Amino acid sequence: MQRLIDADALLEKYHNTRVWDSWVEISNAPTIDPVHAAGGCYCRECEYRTKDTQWTRAGFCGRRDAGPMMIARPDDFCSRGKRREEDDSK
């Protein structure tokens, strides 16, 4: 399975690694979240999402152009959300 890795972090480690240990460094390279890399955010991080309801186990998207009562589950995401300053998603 392919992973999106932080190439800069990998190159920084590579300079301090013996050649035969490089495959270990590549295997353990830090990954990048593709949602954040594309400039989006998860609904659980978004300031527009309401708190979970007892019926859906999900909140609702409070953005005006999201449509009527669009369900926003924690792992859903979009490119138009805004991340909250503090993480009170738990």
Task: Check residue 56 and give its pLDDT.
Answer: 67
- Reported residue count of the chain is 90
Please state, in angstroms and rounded to a whole number, the distance separating the CA atoms of residues 31 and 52: 29
Domain ranges of the chain: 7-32, 39-78
pLDDT averages per 10-residue partition of the chain, 90 residues: 76 70 75 87 90 76 76 87 71
Residue with tokens 């353990």: 28
Task: Check residue 60 and give its pLDDT.
Answer: 84
Instruction: Indicate the pTM of the whole model.
Output: 0.64
Task: Check residue 41 and give its pLDDT.
Answer: 92
